[in-house]
């Protein structure tokens, strides 16, 4: 497919504009979730938000870093798949549903155990014929890692992911650049709020002394993500949880969409060779789109990425 498949609206060709506009201005109405809380094997919980329309197929949607099921990009995709013939399940990572989780551990790019728990639960709850996975940014990396590193639930038949930092090391370096200081600062502020909530919940097990000295993911992951989740260092975490090395093992139709002007994604996050070598992977690299952007203006309030996802899910590996 041509690299310029996505044509941005007038004045929306810039990657930063594409990235920021939906966060600030997009509204998606009409999504009424049914929340369900499920237990994890380690006595914690996950909050799942269902949009059930009586379809016989289910799309499980995984959000990005410091996102949740209420974000416009998630609700936009929920609406799109509902209209396209799929029930939707947007799950919230630990501490992302509006309430801190019970344990010291939280979420990160490699929590395939939690994704697996959600999929297995969903597959047994209703008589769905198939499940599709959709992921954004961190959720896209998590989805690919699940498909390539784990043994996927046999009900999972296809996947579509967007704006995926499949090489976490290089993506972390990109976000540490001065041009991306605004995004990095926002992420660190949001993550700090979760740390402060955990400090209240479990005094003495976590502290934020000197947190203001943290300026990038290297420092944050070295101090928090790696030691809390059993990694030796930030680099060890990035290496073990990057999905790119596992792409050769994916065995279901999978769409990867990364925009050429995504400020979060350096060249290493465009898995051209891996996609060429794996017949199950379709890689789209539109020149524009930003990070989880792909802004479109139409009566349906349907973004280009949402149309791509629904079209792909409804034509790839169809089993009805």
- The CATH number covering residue 304 comes to 3.40.50.1820
> Quick one: which of 238, 248, 239, 245 has its CA closest to 217?
238
Q: How many structural domains does the chain have?
A: 1
- Residue at 119 is within a domain: yes
- Residue at 5 is within a domain: no
Tokens of 202: 């479990």
- Residue at 8 is within a domain: no
- Residue at 294 is within a domain: yes
- Residue at 320 is within a domain: no
- Residue at 182 is within a domain: yes
- Residue at 286 is within a domain: yes
| Residue 136, φ and ψ in degrees, nearest 5 | -120, 130
What residues make up the domain containing 77?
15-312
> Quick one: which of 1, 17, 21, 13 has its CA closest to 311?
1
pTM, 2 dp? 0.96
- Residue at 32 is within a domain: yes
Per residue of the chain (320 residues), what is the pLDDT tens digit?
344 489 999 999 999 999 999 999 999 999 999 999 999 999 999 999 999 999 999 999 999 999 999 999 999 999 999 999 999 999 999 999 999 999 999 999 999 999 999 999 999 999 999 999 999 999 999 999 999 999 999 999 999 999 999 999 999 999 999 999 999 999 999 999 999 999 999 999 999 999 999 999 999 999 999 999 999 999 999 999 999 999 999 999 999 999 999 999 999 999 999 999 999 999 999 999 999 999 999 999 999 999 999 999 999 764 43
Which residues in 103-138 are b (16+ Cβ under 10 Å) and which e? Answer: bebbbbbbbbebbebbbebbbeeeebebbbbbbbbb
């Amino acid at each position: 497919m041509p690299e310029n498949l996505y044509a941005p609206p007038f004045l929306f060709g810039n990657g930063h504009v594409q990235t920021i506009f939906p966060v600030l201005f997009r509204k998606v109405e009409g999504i009424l979730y049914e929340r369900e809380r499920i237990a994890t094997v380690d006595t914690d919980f996950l909050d799942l938000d269902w949009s059930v329309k009586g379809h016989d197929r289910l799309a499980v949607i995984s959000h990005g870093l410091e996102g949740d099921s209420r974000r416009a990009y998630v609700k936009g995709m929920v609406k799109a798949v509902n209209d396209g013939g799929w029930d939707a399940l947007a799950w919230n990572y630990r501490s992302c549903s509006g309430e801190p989780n019970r344990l010291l551990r939280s979420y990160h790019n490699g929590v395939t155990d939690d994704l697996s728990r959600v999929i297995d639960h969903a597959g047994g709850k209703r008589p769905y014929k198939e499940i599709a996975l959709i992921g954004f940014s961190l959720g896209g990396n998590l989805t690919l890692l699940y498909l390539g590193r784990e043994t996927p639930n046999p009900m999972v038949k296809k996947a579509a992911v967007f704006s995926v930092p499949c090489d976490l090391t290089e993506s972390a370096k990109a976000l540490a650049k001065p041009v991306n200081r605004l995004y990095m600062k926002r992420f660190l502020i949001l993550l700090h709020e979760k740390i402060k909530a955990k400090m209240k919940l479990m005094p003495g097990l976590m502290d934020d002394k000197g947190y203001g000295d943290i300026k990038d993911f290297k420092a944050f992951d070295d101090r928090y993500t790696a030691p809390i989740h059993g990694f030796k260092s930030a680099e060890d975490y990035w290496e073990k949880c990057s999905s790119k090395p596992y792409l050769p093992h994916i065995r279901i139709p999978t769409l990867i969409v990364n925009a050429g002007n995504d400020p979060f994604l350096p060249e290493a996050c465009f898995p051209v060779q891996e996609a060429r070598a794996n017949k199950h992977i379709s890689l789209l690299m539109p020149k524009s789109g930003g990070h989880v952007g792909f802004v479109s203006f139409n009566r349906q309030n349907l973004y280009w990425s949402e149309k791509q996802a629904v079209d792909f899910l409804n034509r790839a590996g169809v089993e009805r």
